[in-house]
């Protein structure tokens, strides 16, 4: 008995040391890309690009689950920044943003409030706001909470409605006292290394991820205990927040464009994007045939065109618009 306990303790210690060393190594390899603004006692990380004389409204980009601002920096930002002031945020507790010590920080509305306060401090007025995946819940919450503060809304493969089924087992485990603490500090390091590749493949399916995607966006940042804890809490609680939020979408009056791939298996288009389009009067739904959950990599020109139209103050082209695959 004593020997078995000793072996287990030694194994846990070795895994804890490995995870701690790996977290430090990841932090050095993927340092902050941008700057920080303090909101509610927390440092919120953002990346800003743009020309000396930007055109139209500013554009703000909000990433989804399991990611960080690098997802937008590596995809949409370089092209948009040729003409527009563009800001991409690490959501609270993700990437290099700290998590404010406030109740209900898993709520899209609370995260929208943090981003709104950050934009106020940065002097950003009436931006066009894009939210991808989990960030789509933040973007729609922002449109409900601060309708006069937006020039336009783009929901990109957004998680906006209640779905059936359980969240991933590890999100539930992280929320468990003691076991969750142990998981984050022992198994997260090696587990993250094993699961990162299949995770990227799955989120892009049926499309292929661009070479070097994980490194380009700084995906390994996810596999630090603090970031992973925030991501798990957000993922585990999103559905409960959407129960009430999804009942209010008909109130949205911000010019809205919704872009989705009809083969998205991560956030099902019919359940989320199509339903949202039906609930927001005058909205434009762009259906990308054959595309999965990452349209900003697979068809970036479509997403950029939609953002730039909103930034110029053009009205959405109400109705569904089908975009076939490239020849």
CA pseudo-torsion sign 237, 238, 243, 245: positive
What pLDDT does 1 receive?
52
Residue 2 binned pLDDT confidence (cut-offs 50, 70, 90): low
pTM, full prediction: 0.96
Are residues 293 and 135 in contact, defined by beta-carbon separation less than 8 angstroms? no
What pLDDT does 326 receive?
85
Angle at 280 between CA 276 and CA 286, to 5 degrees: 60
pLDDT tens digits for range 114-136: 999 999 999 999 999 999 999 99
- 216 φ, ψ to 5°? -65, -35
pLDDT tens digits for range 47-101: 999 999 999 999 999 999 999 999 999 999 999 999 999 999 999 999 999 999 9
Query: Percentage of the chain with pLDDT > 90?
Result: 87
Query: Percentage of the chain with pLDDT > 70?
Result: 99
Q: What is the mean pLDDT of the chain?
A: 96
pLDDT tens digits for range 274-317: 999 999 999 999 999 999 999 999 999 999 999 999 999 999 99
Q: What is the mean pLDDT of residues 188-203?
A: 92
What pLDDT does 160 receive?
98
What pLDDT does 169 receive?
86
pLDDT at 147 over 80: yes
19-28, long-range: CB within 8 Å, 24+ apart, which pairs? Answer: 19/184, 19/185, 19/186, 19/187, 19/188, 19/189, 19/190, 19/225, 20/185, 22/189, 22/193, 22/223, 23/189, 23/223, 23/224, 23/225, 26/220, 26/221, 26/223, 26/224, 27/221, 27/224
pLDDT at 204 over 70: yes
Q: What is the mean pLDDT of residues 172-184?
A: 91
Q: What is the mean pLDDT of residues 223-251?
A: 97
Give me 230's structure tokens.
């925030």
Which burial class, exposed, middle or buried, applies to 262 when counting CB atoms under 10 A from its CB (0-12, 13-18, 19+)? middle
What pLDDT does 71 receive?
98
Give me 27's structure tokens.
């932090």
Give me 45's structure tokens.
């990380």
pLDDT at 165 over 90: no
List CB contacts of 73: < 8 A, sequence separation 6 or more.
33, 47, 88, 217
1 compared with 131, residue with greater pLDDT? 131
């Amino acid at each position: 008995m004593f020997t078995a306990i000793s072996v287990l303790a030694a194994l846990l210690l070795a895994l804890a040391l490995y995870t701690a060393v790996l977290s430090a190594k990841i932090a050095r390899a993927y340092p902050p890309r941008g700057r920080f603004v303090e909101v509610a006692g927390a440092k919120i990380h953002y990346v800003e690009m743009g020309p000396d004389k930007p055109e139209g409204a500013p554009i703000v980009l909000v990433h989804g689950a399991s990611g960080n601002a690098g997802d937008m920096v590596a995809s949409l930002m370089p092209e948009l920044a040729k003409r527009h002031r563009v800001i991409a945020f690490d959501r609270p507790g993700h990437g290099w943003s700290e998590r404010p010590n406030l109740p209900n920080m898993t709520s899209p509305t609370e995260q929208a409030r943090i981003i709104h306060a950050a934009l106020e401090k940065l002097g950003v007025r009436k931006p066009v706001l894009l939210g991808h995946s989990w960030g789509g819940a933040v973007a729609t919450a922002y449109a409900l909470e601060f309708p006069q503060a937006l020039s336009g809304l783009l929901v990109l493969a957004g998680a906006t409605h209640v779905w059936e089924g359980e969240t991933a087992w590890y999100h539930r485990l992280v929320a468990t006292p003691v076991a969750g603490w142990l998981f984050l500090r022992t198994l997260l390091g090696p587990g993250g290394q094993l699961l990162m590749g299949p995770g990227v493949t799955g989120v892009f399916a049926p499309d292929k991820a661009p070479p070097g995607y994980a490194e380009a966006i700084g995906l390994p940042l996810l596999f630090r205990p603090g970031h992973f804890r925030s991501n798990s809490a957000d993922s585990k609680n999103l559905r409960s927040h959407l129960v009430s939020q999804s009942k209010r979408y008909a109130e949205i009056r911000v010019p809205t464009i919704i872009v989705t791939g009809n083969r998205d298996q991560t956030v099902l288009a019919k359940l989320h994007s199509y339903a949202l389009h039906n609930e927001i009067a005058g909205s434009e739904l762009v259906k990308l045939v054959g595309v999965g959950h990452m349209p900003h990599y697979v068809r970036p020109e479509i997403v950029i065109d939609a953002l730039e139209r909103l930034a110029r103050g053009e009205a959405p082209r109400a109705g569904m618009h089908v975009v076939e695959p490239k020849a």
